[in-house]
Amino acid sequence: MSILIGDHAPDFELVNQFGENVKLSDFRGKKPVVMVFYPLSFSGICTGELCELRDNFADFDNKDVELLAISVDSKFVQKQFADTEGYKFSVLADFWPHGAVAKLYDVFLEEAGISNRATFVIDKDGILIAKFVTAPGQARSLDEYRKALSLVG
């Protein structure tokens, strides 16, 4: 079942590119979170999208928002990807069980074994306040992120 605006965001824990555990509920009461699911590290559109977020990181930082990028790649791939592209935000590995968090958020594409391009904006209380999903192969627009960030208090 799809998560709707106003629902509590399901909690999860994944490892980031540094091997650190990142738990969604650790941010509750502290700061909003933007979760960016993407299909695969090092692929063209995904790299372009995340580099655009990197280049506009001040949009998130100025709102004191935690940015979490998530794909089914391993923590080793995520480390290399983040280092290569200079990402200062957490790049999480939804590697094992394969795509479990993407499935939890109903954005896992079973036939391809990857997550779809989906963004979830969660407020300090853990409530979903915005989401947008694009078709496979279609990049998300920075304007969509900016509109969603305008909802963050």
Q: Which residues are catalytic?
A: 46
Residues in the chain: 153
Alpha-helical runs (H) found in 2-131: 44-55, 57-61, 75-85, 100-104
Residues near 89 by beta carbon (within 8 Å), at least 6 away in sequence: 53, 54, 57, 60, 66, 67, 68, 69
Evaluate whether 48 touches 117 at the Cβ level (below 8 Å): no
CB 145 within 8 A of CB 53: yes
